[in-house]
Amino acid sequence: MARIELFSDEGFRCDGRRPHELRKMSCRLGTFEQADGSSYVEMGNTRVLATVYGPRETKSNRSRLLFDRAIINCEYSLATFSTPERRRKPRGDFRSIEITNNLKEVYESAILTELYPYSQIDIFLQVLQSDGSNYSACINAATLAIINAGIPIKDIVCACSAGIINDTPMVDLSYIEESMGSNAMLTVALLPKEKQILSMESSGRIHLEAMDSLVDTAINGCMDVNNIMKGTVLNYVME
């Protein structure tokens, strides 16, 4: 069987992009009325909805509330119809729990939680269509929803994935690249202004020598994503 050529000799990837090019990204703020903040992000065919509620008082886990800052509650779910093969349940598998915990840590350091004692901020993420780089799409969507909700955040947190295919680092991997070609993949979330990395997550084996170039590629991808997100937020503010 002929394998799909992930990276051609002419320097194109299987969907026609150059290694450093992102997929088409579009975002929208305020998709829901009743939530405090919401957003919709498309990165290529990966589509994510994010909703944010809070800061608010909760009835259920009052004992977990902190006296000096807000707690952040995340929920990541991958819709049953989002993948090529239908999934049994939308959440609860190992990967979802991992992403949920990562997201929580990212936003605990990015949001100025100390302004809101005894409160809770809920972030709900729903992947409607999964075509690779779900985690980075989720971070971008959650950031936009938080900005929409007017919650103080240090910077426009953005994320991008990168991987190595045929010894070439490339950004924003699609599902095919993620599943077939790349044995090394890295997702970086950062505060773009100070280029401070909030979270770095990798899967597969990365050679130490390739690590630096991979991180740089991912950071460059993040800055591109950041420009798109800035434009969206600016449009929203100017309305």
Q: 117 or 204: whose CB is closer to other proteins?
A: 117
Site for other proteins in 137-196 (CB under 8 A): 147-156, 191-193
Three-state DSSP state, 225 = helix
**Contact between 43 and 22 (Cβ < 8 Å):** yes
Give the C-alpha separation, 83 to 64, whole Å.
35
Q: 78 or 159: whose CB is closer to other proteins?
A: 159
Q: 67 or 94: whose CB is closer to other proteins?
A: 67
The amino acid at residue 50 is: A
Residue 235 interacts with other proteins (CB under 8 A): yes or no: no
Rounded to a whole number of angstroms, the minimum distance from the CB of residue 231 to other proteins is 10
Q: 111 or 218: whose CB is closer to other proteins?
A: 111
DSSP class of residue 69 equals S
Residue 54 interacts with other proteins (CB under 8 A): yes or no: yes
Selected binder of other proteins within 119, 130, 134, 217 (CB under 8 A): 119
Which long-range contacts does 200-208 make (Cβ < 8 Å, 24+ apart)?
Answer: 201/102, 201/135, 206/164
**Contact between 157 and 176 (Cβ < 8 Å):** no
Rounded to a whole number of angstroms, the minimum distance from the CB of residue 54 to other proteins is 7
Give the C-alpha separation, 87 to 80, whole Å.
5
Contacts of 155 (CB under 8 A, 6+ apart): 110, 191, 192, 193, 194
Site for other proteins in 58-117 (CB under 8 A): 67, 112, 116-117
Rounded to a whole number of angstroms, the minimum distance from the CB of residue 57 to other proteins is 5
Residue 134 interacts with other proteins (CB under 8 A): yes or no: no
Helix or strand (DSSP H, E) at 56: strand 46-56
Residues that bind other proteins (CB under 8 A): 30, 36-37, 54-57, 67, 112, 116-119, 147-156, 191-193, 230, 233-234, 236-239
